[in-house]
A and B are shown apart, each in its own frame.
Chain A
Amino acid sequence: MTFYAPFCLPFILGALSMFAIVAGKWAVWLYRLPRADKMAILRGLPSRATLDAAGETICESLLHRRIFRVDPLLGYMHMSLAFGWFLLIAVGWIETVAYLGFRYVPLQGHVFFKYFATGLAHKPFFDFVMDLLLLFVLSGVALAWVKRLRSKAMGMRRTTKHVLGDRIALSALWLIFPARLVAESATCALYGGGGFLTGTLGGWMHDHLGVMASINLEAAAWWVYSSCLGLFFVAMPFSRYMHIFTEIPLIFLRRYRLRSGEKKKSYDRFQVEACSRCGICIDPCQLQNVLEIDNVQSVYFLRDRRYKMLRPEVADNCLMCGRCAAKCPVGIDLNTLRLNSRDTLRNLPDKRRYAYLKEIDRSQGAGRVGYFAGCMTLLTPRILTAMEQIFTAAREEVWWADRDGGVCCGRPLKLSGETDAARKMMRYNTDLFRKHNIATLVTSCPICLKVFREDYALEGIEVLHHSEYILRLMQSGRLRTDRGDTSYTYHDPCELGRGSGSYEQPRAVIEAIGRLLEPADTRENALCCGSSVANTAISDRQQVALARNVAAELEATGAETIVTACPLCKKAIARGAAKEVHDLAEIVAARIRR
């Protein structure tokens, strides 16, 4: 049996080009990894991480479990295309083995097996299973059509607007399976066999088309099927479908603890090209659903970055609230990638910059506990006063780092891409903390908190947000409060919740002094206040619109007071709210038992 017919040519050329380009890309990306990353891979390979990664690959790349959590129908669509196609290939190989035993069969022999196997005795079991799998995939294609027409039916208010290359690849993909159905059915019409799908359709063709028409149809349909496959394979490494193969190494590298950083590096390429442009990141974006800005979301940012057409207007227009990253089914580190794009666009190493950062220590007091108010807290003196009352009530000896003016933590500058200059501030503050020999560093600002924990080298100093610190004081009995009957609703600041993973501590504090009511979007889904320091693109009017939207949701809980745990969120929400907005420290200080 020869496994070659002229129609196989488009498929063979497409497949060869795809494998060559994908392998080439991987080789270059891996080769360019910094030495530390290469060592991490070598260390990780023989460990448990490899097994875990294999498990995650099955769960995510094939079954798409995380998309099921967004919407079950959407999950089914992605699963039927990915897992269904995988099974068609895998069961197809088993089918060839069942027919021919273990012998070498070229790739096209497996893929177009129905065409070549006409002379063999039929195995109805495989006819049935292969038809079932084809139906499984076709149902996914049908849903994909529905999604293009009405994305709402699939749990998505908006879906991605694709570029031309993606549309070509998408059209080829959608045609592959209907073409396969027609081709296999036409063969069945001439030679019999086939399951409930191809067999039935083939029988119908045989009865209604006649032999000549069926012969012509068969010849044409296999050409169309092979051409669609070939076109898809050629387009694949350059289109969104590069994600099919890129997500797999990404999962493994992530398990080997490779991470993106504030500077671009080769690992980023795995993340950028693993984006399937599914568009799940669009709906959570408040810039989209409140301000109707629809060209800056992570899907478009990654696309622009990948095709080297990223403009500062797109890179800068993001709150970096992390709502999209929390939903991303591929788990791409969206904020960090945007950060290092901004670094590329804007970072300018300047040795003379911030030369004034010396001998400006204006700190006061002494104690093992240091308190860093942060710029935003200095602008909200009620939080500062409340913290002072709490420290006094708990009889804590406190070193005040910046009550009379201090140096910014560096995170706002870092978020705008000037990472080298931000490092100077970080070094200055680190030296300051060391000089005053503190053991605990408390801050009221989650922006500072995040940078202290992630970018400062503060070994030996425990960094706490004031919500965590206050809760500790309450639990150890050093701070006694009276419970009132006021009802509160709590707004999770992005940098504290999604950014630092502190959801429970502020809630525990509020529940100790009153009744807590949760807003509709809470914890991982909490809205951003809209005034994030990460965004330098939106106007004041747009910030207020976002604040009104957040405030409306918080007020809808019916709570008497809105509570948050970030001075910036407090100021931002207050601009859109009719009710009072307080920081956690203020409501605690008001309830201290005298």
Chain B
Amino acid sequence: MAAINFGYSISKPRAIDVDRNNLRKSDEILREMPELQTCIGCGSCTAVCTAGNLTEFNFRKVHTLVRRGEYQGAYEEMNKCMLCGKCRLVCPRGINTRAVVMLIKHKLGDL
């Protein structure tokens, strides 16, 4: 019997080696935005996201990867954000998410 396709899949297994990644930009971001360290990864930001509703954009995933030093494609992903601000209203830790978006874009792309 063919499995029903619910539209979900399992991510490919992979490991992030934080020791080998260059954390300079990640450190800068956390220094300028220390409140990002209080993120509990609940994903509320992503659940309400206007851009996330229309695309695969996942704010929680992108900022988590950036903090681990995985910058590949992060700038392009962040540029999908419309900055509407819903994520900021729902964040249970009160993180200034719009400033996080702007900061990550500034550090990784706007030069």
Select B99's contact among A346, A375, A412, A536, beta carbons within 8 Å. Answer: A536
Contact status B50-A408, CB under 8 Å = yes
Per-residue CB contact flags for chain A residues 499-539 toward chain B (1 = under 8 Å, else 0) read 00000000000000000000000000000000101001111
Contact status B95-A537, CB under 8 Å = no
In the assembled complex, B17 has its CB within 8 A of some CB on chain A = no
Known contacts A348-B110, A379-B90, A405-B54, A536 near B82 by CB under 8 Å = no
Contact status A375-B84, CB under 8 Å = yes
Shortest CB-to-CB span from B30 to chain A, Å, is: 16
Select A413's contact among B82, B94, B95, beta carbons within 8 Å. Answer: B82
Known contacts A356-B80, A360-B54, A533 near B96 by CB under 8 Å = no
A348–B54 Cα distance when bound, in Å, is 23
Contact status A540-B83, CB under 8 Å = no
Which residues from chain A contact B109 at a C-beta distance below 8 Å? 348
Per-residue CB contact flags for chain B residues 89-110 toward chain A (1 = under 8 Å, else 0) read 1110011101100100000011
Shortest CB-to-CB span from B54 to chain A, Å, is: 5
In the assembled complex, A354 has its CB within 8 A of some CB on chain B = yes
In the assembled complex, A247 has its CB within 8 A of some CB on chain B = no
Shortest CB-to-CB span from B23 to chain A, Å, is: 24
Which residues from chain A contact B95 at a C-beta distance below 8 Å? 540
Residues B34-70 near A (CB distance < 8 A): 35, 48, 50, 53-55
Instruction: Kindly state the interface size class of chain A when it binds its partner.
Output: 20 to 34
In the assembled complex, B86 has its CB within 8 A of some CB on chain A = yes
Contact status A539-B94, CB under 8 Å = yes
Contact status B102-A379, CB under 8 Å = no
Contact status B99-A407, CB under 8 Å = no
A199–B83 Cα distance when bound, in Å, is 69
Report the nearest A residue to B89, measured CB to CB.
A571
Question: Counting chain A CB atoms within 10 Å of each CB, which of B48, B86, B110 scores highest?
Answer: B86
Which residues from chain B contact A376 at a C-beta distance below 8 Å? 84-86, 89
Known contacts A407-B50, A540-B96, A379 near B80 by CB under 8 Å = no
A59–B48 Cα distance when bound, in Å, is 52
Known contacts A356-B55, A360-B54, A408 near B94 by CB under 8 Å = no
Known contacts A348-B110, A379-B90, A416 near B83 by CB under 8 Å = yes
Per-residue CB contact flags for chain A residues 396-424 toward chain B (1 = under 8 Å, else 0) read 00000000011110101100101001000
Report the nearest A residue to B110, measured CB to CB.
A348
Which residues from chain B contact A536 at a C-beta distance below 8 Å? 96, 98-99, 102
Contact status A541-B85, CB under 8 Å = no
Which residues from chain B contact A571 at a C-beta distance below 8 Å? 89
Contact status A412-B85, CB under 8 Å = yes
Known contacts A379-B89, A408-B82, A413-B83, A539 near B102 by CB under 8 Å = no
Which residues from chain A contact B85 at a C-beta distance below 8 Å? 375-376, 412, 533, 568
Which residues from chain A contact B83 at a C-beta distance below 8 Å? 408, 412-413, 416, 418, 533
A353–B105 Cα distance when bound, in Å, is 13
Contact status B110-A537, CB under 8 Å = no
Report the nearest B residue to A424, measured CB to CB.
B82
A379–B88 Cα distance when bound, in Å, is 11
Per-residue CB contact flags for chain A residues 83-103 toward chain B (1 = under 8 Å, else 0) read 000000000000000000000
A11–B110 Cα distance when bound, in Å, is 50
Per-residue CB contact flags for chain B residues 15-37 toward chain A (1 = under 8 Å, else 0) read 00000000000000000000100
A376–B86 Cα distance when bound, in Å, is 7
Contact status A407-B89, CB under 8 Å = no
Select A537's contact among B50, B53, B80, B99, beta carbons within 8 Å. Answer: B99
Per-residue CB contact flags for chain A residues 352-364 toward chain B (1 = under 8 Å, else 0) read 1110100010000
Residues on B facing A (Cβ under 8 Å): 35, 48, 50, 53-55, 76, 79-80, 82-86, 89-91, 94-96, 98-99, 102, 109-110
Residues on A facing B (Cβ under 8 Å): 346, 348, 350, 352-354, 356, 360, 375-376, 378-379, 405-408, 410, 412-413, 416, 418, 421, 425, 531, 533, 536-541, 568, 571
Known: A376-B85, A379-B90. 9 other contacts (CB 8 A): A348-B109, A353-B79, A376-B86, A378-B86, A379-B86, A405-B50, A533-B84, A536-B96, A540-B94
Can you pick out 6 interface pairs between chain A and chain B where the beta carbons lie within 8 Å of each other? A375-B50, A379-B86, A407-B50, A533-B83, A536-B99, A540-B91
